[in-house]
Amino acid sequence: MAIIKEKTKVAGVAAAKKAAAQKAVPAPKNEQRKENKIYISSQEEVVKMEVVLRGERFKSYWDSDREYLFFSISPKYVEAFEMHTFFVSGKFIDFEE
């Protein structure tokens, strides 16, 4: 019984973190990023990150409150990002979900 309660507690915490992250407002999209897919950190972050996907470097950027990080990934690199440990581990989630 304790295992079931713990799983629901963990699921509730994950849902709360996801809801908080979805409230963050990304920087306005410029013309170059209109087709890109946006990913947001599932928790507040204190340092910016970058990721290399198929030889291309992508840098994160802050939300308006400088709490959450975003990655703007061009369509041809979306599959590579979704196989990256940042996405697989849940550190970054799909913003438009």
Helix (H, G, I), strand (E, B) or coil at 66: coil
Q: What distance in Å separates the CA atoms of residue 81 and residue 97, rounded to the nearest whole number? A: 16
Read off the amino acid at residue 83. M
Chain mean pLDDT for the chain:
80
User: What is the structure's pLDDT at 63?
Assistant: 87
Stated pTM of the model: 0.68
Task: Say if residue 1's pLDDT is above 90.
Answer: no
User: What is the structure's pLDDT at 69?
Assistant: 92
Average pLDDT over residues 25-48: 80
Residue 93 is classified by DSSP as E
> Residue 80: phi, psi to the nearest 5?
-65, -40
Average pLDDT over residues 48-74: 91
> Residue 83: phi, psi to the nearest 5?
-100, -5
Radius of gyration (C-alpha) of the chain in whole angstroms:
15
